[in-house]
Amino acid sequence: MKAIILAGGRGKRLKPITDFVPKPLVPIKNIPIIEWQIKYLKKFNVSEVIICTGYKTKMIENHFKMKKMGIKIKYSIEKFPLGTGGAIKKAGKMINEKSFFVINGDTITNIDLNKLKKKQNSIASIELRTQYGILETKDDKILKFKEKKEISDTWMNAGIYYLQKEVLRELPVKGDIEKTLFPDYAKKGKLNTIKFKNTKWYSVDSFKDMEECSLEIEKIIK
């Protein structure tokens, strides 16, 4: 099984760190984000990863020349940003298998990829999370005040996909999969989801995300 890691972003919200290193090499507990991701993918028998990159690519390549991960690593290098759809389409030229995984380059999770494989062209979804208190109201009265991060029965894209190779020809050369193929497939009834409740999930996009993720990452990815 192969997996594509979408790691081409500049990580502007993590400046000034990302002025000097690409976002995939930003450390969580002294280990780069992308190393945690590869360790996670290996648990599900992924034997090869294709890293989509365009910013400070040489630093990523040099890192893995020195650090052996026990997995085959290839690179799909973007001369200019292609968007998630364009990046997957380009990287997909290196895939011969009928299906493959895709993961956003800043996602840290313990989602069970074996469950995601149960449906073709599926998106991993988790309950919507918010950093704000949830109010249950009637008219102008607050009945309940809940300090929680998950909103029951409202689902969000977790940034992990299990796709069939045939989707590659329908992806744009440049553009986001979330704005092109996914809406089209949803209208046609060709897009599925596997829902994951009570799962650990972080999108490492800020210093606060880094701090919170670092407290749990060794429990999330063992």
Domain assignment present for 141? no
**Domain of residue 178, CATH code:** 3.90.550.10
On whether residue 138 sits in a domain, the answer given is no
Q: Is residue 103 part of a domain?
A: yes
Is 148 a residue of the active site? yes
Which CA distances in Å does 79 have to 87, 91, 100, 103? Answer: 11, 13, 24, 21
Residue 173, pLDDT above cutoff 70: yes
Instruction: Read off the pTM.
Output: 0.89
Which residues touch 206 (CB under 8 Å, ≥6 apart)? 13, 14
Task: Let me know if residue 137 belongs to a domain.
Answer: no
Rounded CA-CA distance 32/125 in Å is 25
Q: What is the pLDDT of residue 146?
A: 67
pLDDT at 85: 96
Report the alpha-carbon distance of residue 137 to residue 154 in Å, rounded. Answer: 18
- The residues with which 142 forms a beta bridge, in sequence order, are 137
Q: Give the Cα-Cα-Cα angle 25, 29, 32 (nearest 5 degrees).
A: 15
Residue 156 is encoded by which pair of tokens? 């969000």
pLDDT band for position 148 (cuts 50, 70, 90):
low
Look at residue 148 and tell me if it is in a domain.
Answer: no
What are the tens digits of pLDDT across the range 20-75?
989 999 999 999 999 999 999 999 999 999 999 999 999 999 999 888 899 999 99
Q: Is residue 145 part of a domain?
A: no
Least confident of 101-105, 106-110, 126-130, 214-218: 126-130
Q: How many domains does the chain have?
A: 1
Q: Is residue 90 part of a domain?
A: yes
* Residue whose C-alpha is closest to residue 210's, from 218, 220, 202: 202
Instruction: State residue 58's pLDDT score.
Output: 93
Cα 78 to Cα 30, 174, 193: the distances in Å are 27, 11, 29
Choose the catalytic residue: 15, 148, 179, 208.
Answer: 148
The domain containing residue 212 runs over which residues? 2-126+156-220
